[in-house]
Chains A and B, each alone.
Chain A
Amino acid sequence: MYVRASARAKTHYGPKPAHTFMTLTQNRITDLFSQKSERLLNVYFTAGFPALNDTVTILRGLQAAGVDLVEIGMPYSDPVADGETIQQSNGKALDNGMSLKTLFDQLEGCRQGQSRDPVTVPILLMGYINPVLQYGVEAFCKKCQEVGVDGVILPDLPLDLYLADYAPTFREYGILNVNLITPQTSENRIRLIDEESDGFIYMVSSASITGSTKGISDSMRGYFERIQAMNLRNPRLIGFGINNHDTFDTACEYANGAIVGSAFIRHLEEKGTSAESILEFVHTIRA
């Protein structure tokens, strides 16, 4: 139960101790972009879906299939930026018993390899801020560092609140915070986001939630070109609505690569989580 501040002996909302700022040194995401800048494929899947213990199997399957980055969804009860496919995978994962704690347990040791090859592919966690707040932001960052997570995408943590409250903690543990831009984001704000981002910028392809199947329109190309012409210092990956070879190819004309989510979730549902199934999916996207 929450005891209101007025009923507590002493409030715990004291100022945070100042953090020592560390510049980011080694990070698998920044390393990746320094080595490769074209046709990068980032694949999203939801932790604990289709079955609770599929997380690392899928992660290894994606690595074996040669994807460049992996985005693991931290399931949430109210994913407002997501369409039906990812909503349902979130719901199923929660029903399966997935939680942040379980996810970290599953990822524990995967970088060391133990009896198997170590997982070397850069890992991002994608999800919503509330579960992270309940876990504790510092505990979360620390755990990310321990298990080898390189960055996070938290769509409902806007840049100003991130900078005001959390950036020092993320930096202390070497965790990149990836920011989104959309066709409606103003030029000034894109410049600000570029200034404050490390790793890459996540370009949302159109005004939409995830899982759109509208394809890539001329107005989207116009937006891609506009951003391309801005010469941002960060690399860019295009996501939302990238669901097959054609859309992947088009996205790669305008950015360093693309992110596929809902289409992969649907594939896992239909074709299963075997290495062959995952390889088949990655092949059809990259061809």
Chain B
Amino acid sequence: MQTTLEPQTSFEVSDKGFYGHFGGAFIPEMLYPNVEELRQNYLNIINDPAFQAEFWQLLEDYVGRPTPLFLAKRLSEKVGATVYLKREDLCHTGAHKVNNTIGQILVAQRLGKKRIVAETGAGQHGVATATVCALMGLECIVYMGSIDMERQKPNVDRMRMLGATVVPATSGSQTLKDATNEAMRHWINNPVDTHYIIGSVVGPHPYPDMVARFQSVISEEVKKQLFAKTGRQNPDYVVACVGGGSNAAGAFFHYLNEPTVRLVAAEAAGQGVTSGHSAATTALGKPGVLHGSRTILMQTEDGQVIEPYSISAGLDYPGIGPLHAHLFDSGRGDFYAITDDEALQAGFQLSKLEGIIPALESAHALAALEKMNLQPDDVVVVCLSGRGDKDLSTYSKHL
């Protein structure tokens, strides 16, 4: 496999769309013109000063950035290190997902697209997409697994209220993976006027890179904020949950080439890594191709994709973005598998200690703190990717 062999020490995407030997664009010819159009244009578009101005203005005035970097004193005492929370939960719509959808809707406009299609798991990306479509007056179609539509009902209603059409994905496991398949099929059927807003750092090149760039605002702000608060250039650890890996990619982005900063990824172990009901991709997966990129993937010996499970719909995905596969493979990242119970406990703990109810996804990142063997002088930044309102019905079952 020669393309995927190029020795690569950098964590930036290569010309051909690879991180180490992960990534690429494994797409059917039907999607080639669309993906190629995006690949040829995305850097020019997002580097254009007019684009930058509009993007930053919207992040400030509409999303509410910069989001605070909050010193969580009582949590710090509890875990025995200094813990800062990057408050992505305070973004408009309640999660980091909107950083990406703002960027992509501006790209879609510049490509002359009239309609947006998206997939969603927890519904956060669907809501963030429906929101920017309303803002820009574009038609919006969101595919969502029918099981997820049940367990994230408030988000389905929000999307509909925002004017989006929510289409249940009834194939396969009826969760995020299948919603992604359906969104890709929709794009194949509507190749000319539609842009597909992928919600994480997954999919064919250039999506992982484009989404990581839009989410990189997270670590860009953290760098400045941490310095202002502590006089330190860098924390010792940055911690984030990984579903596809977009909040993690954004939180890690400006630290990728800072070897003293450990990058910590929390994956969903569901009922336990070996329970058969898990989404702990790096613990259970092998290299393979899913949704257009070569990555690490939960699969059978025959290469069939295994249905993942997590209490958190946003982490219920059998793969991870190719950047994260490379971080894992190269040893640059530390990956922890967090069970449903550990995440729930961490969610309850943060609520009581700091008055912040985290999304179940983000609660996985918080639970990793307990496993990291932190020392008293360690400084840790946790990406609090979203707020827990959408998860209240799940939390309330365990109160």
Contact = CB atoms under 8 A, between A and B. Distances in A.
Contacts of B191: 182, 184, 207
Interface in A1-51: 1-2, 4-7, 13, 15-16
Interface string B24-61: 11111110111000000000000000000000000000
Interface in A190-229: 204, 207-209
A186 B36 CA distance: 11
A130 interface: yes
A87 interface: yes
A225 B390 CA distance: 53
Given A76-B304, A78-B172, A181 B29 contact: yes
A129 B4 CA distance: 15
Interface string B208-230: 00000000000000000000000
A178 B172 CA distance: 28
A207 B190 contact: yes
Given A77-B172, A158-B29, A182-B29, A13 B289 contact: no
Contact of B188 (A4, A128, A130, A209): A209
B26 A135 contact: no
B330 A80 contact: no
A225 B248 CA distance: 49
Given A87-B171, A131-B304, A133-B289, A4 B331 contact: yes
A138 B195 CA distance: 37
A180 interface: yes
B303 A158 contact: no
Interface string B164-189: 00000001100001000100110011
A131 B28 contact: no
Interface string A152-173: 0001111011001100000000
B374 interface: no
A277 interface: no
Interface in B1-24: 1-5, 16, 20-21, 24
B189 A131 contact: no
Interface string B269-312: 00000000000001111111111100011010111110000000
Interface centre among B16, B27, B299, B303 (most CB of A within 10 A): B303
A81 B3 contact: no
Contacts of B302: 99-101, 131, 134-135
Interface extent on B, as a size class?
35 or more
B139 interface: no
Contacts of B16: 160
A239 to B, nearest CB: 12
A165 B18 CA distance: 14
A130 B292 CA distance: 11
A146 B302 CA distance: 20
Contacts of A101: 302
A1 B190 contact: no
A87 B181 CA distance: 11
Interface in B348-385: none
A77 B319 CA distance: 14
B286 A155 contact: no
Contacts of B25: 158, 161
Given A15-B2, A184-B192, A156 B304 contact: no
Interface string B332-360: 00000000000000000000000000000
Contacts of A78: 172, 177, 181, 290-291, 305
Contact of B330 (A6, A186, A189): A6
A65 interface: no
Nearest to B191: A207
Contacts of B291: 78, 80
Nearest to A88: B171
Given A4-B330, A131-B303, A208-B30, 6 more contacts: A7-B331, A78-B291, A134-B299, A156-B27, A184-B32, A208-B189
10 A-B pairs with least C-beta separation: A6-B331, A134-B303, A131-B303, A155-B28, A180-B29, A184-B33, A99-B302, A77-B304, A164-B3, A2-B286
Interface of A: 1-2, 4-7, 13, 15-16, 76-78, 80-81, 83-84, 87, 91, 94, 99-101, 128-135, 155-158, 160-161, 164-165, 179-182, 184-186, 189, 204, 207-209
7 contacts: A2-B282, A4-B328, A4-B329, A94-B304, A132-B303, A184-B34, A184-B191
